[in-house]
Amino acid sequence: MWHARQMTVKSTDPWQTPAVEVLRAHPGIRVAEIETNATPGFTGDKATGERLIEERGAVLSRLQEMLFANGRWGDRRSILLILQGMDTAGKGGMVRNVIGHVDPQGVDHTSFGVPTPEEKRHHYLWRINKALPRAGQLGVFDRSHYEDVLVVRVRNLVPESVWSTRYDEINQFERELVDSGTTLIKVAMFVSLDEQKRRLAERLERPDKHWKYNPGDVSERKLWPAYQEAYQAMLDRTSTEHAPWYVVPCDRKWYSRIAVMELLIDAFERLDLDWPSVEFDVELEKRRLAEA
């Protein structure tokens, strides 16, 4: 698909290949072979990335305001960013550093933890449905319905006969979502086992990070191969034309953030937004105001 970004790629653009192209999960991708410390498509260094995130953050903010404005004037569309990744992949930091650039009133953020007793009484998509972004909103999911084919699969929380039907069900669910006007940006965040260890160690070193540490996360490390398998199945079975996965290496936080920033900007640009045309007569209102 052709869009505005290609028009603006200059030789000085540190993106050699746009993030949407280089990060899109292609058929045959192997989770075990993802280079988690790579910076696909990006030729700049950390300083370039950190400078760029401010610049692009301003662009994102403008686009998000436009979506919000259109939502106020009847446009039904919305965008939903789904962040999936193992503990320490940097989901929270992604929200602060990328989504942090936009006006909070246009953001609908939800994080999904272990289902509450009430959630457990319902179908796994029940809590997801409740959290979907309304018209004009940028929804952000920190974890999602994909937990129901990841942790649930790895930990045998339901029998295989149950979780194995969920891939098709999720594809169908997302199809309906897209048809109703929600653009999905599904981001699979990958860190290496070593990098995770460093990040968990840091959580233990720093009293201001103790709250993030969960002793259970260490036990999950033993299940790493099983998680890799579950992530592999997720990419194989739920990266669809209407809702593709993007695979983002996350050992370098600065890279993962600038990459997701670009994925978001691309999604907004594809909406081809403009400021909404209002239903009142602007010239008439100017005259009325002058006389008021």
Where on the chain is the footprint of ligand AMP (CB under 6 A)?
87, 112-115, 143, 147-148, 151-152, 157
Q: Residue 260's closest CA among 57, 65, 11?
A: 57
Q: Which does 114 bind (CB under 5 to 8 A by kind): ligand AMP, Mg ion, none?
A: ligand AMP
Point out the residue whose Cβ comes nearest to ligand AMP: 147
Distance in Å, CB of 123 to ligand AMP, minimum? 11
Q: Residue 179's closest CA among 236, 241, 228?
A: 241
Nearer to ligand AMP, 87 or 174 (CB): 87
Tokens of 21: 């192209």
Stretch that binds Mg ion, among 93-101, 167-175, 214-222, 224-232 (CB under 5 A): 214-222
52 contacts: CB under 8 Å, gap ≥ 6: 14, 44, 258
Distance in Å, CB of 152 to ligand AMP, minimum? 5
Distance in Å, CB of 87 to Mg ion, minimum? 4
Compute the CA torsion angle 147, 172, 98, 61 (nearest 10 deg): -150
Tokens of 184: 């999905």
The residue written with tokens 């649930």 in the block is: 152
Q: Residue 178's closest CA among 126, 114, 132?
A: 132
Nearer to ligand AMP, 87 or 262 (CB): 87
Tokens of 141: 């999911």
Q: Which does 4 bind (CB under 5 to 8 A by kind): Mg ion, ligand AMP, none?
A: none
Stretch that binds Mg ion, among 20-28, 206-214, 241-249, 257-265 (CB under 5 A): 206-214
H helices present in 32-165, as ranges: 46-72, 91-97, 117-120, 126-130, 151-154, 160-163
Nearer to Mg ion, 87 or 108 (CB): 87
Nearer to ligand AMP, 59 or 157 (CB): 157
Q: Is 87 in the site for Mg ion (CB under 5 A)?
A: yes
Distance in Å, CB of 5 to ligand AMP, minimum? 32
Nearer to ligand AMP, 80 or 267 (CB): 80
Contact in structure between 273 and 67 (CB atoms under 8 Å): yes
Q: Is 266 in the site for Mg ion (CB under 5 A)?
A: no
Q: Is 147 in the site for Mg ion (CB under 5 A)?
A: no
Bridge partners (DSSP) of residue 256 are: none
Residues at the site binding Mg ion, with contacts judged by CB under 5 A = 87, 214
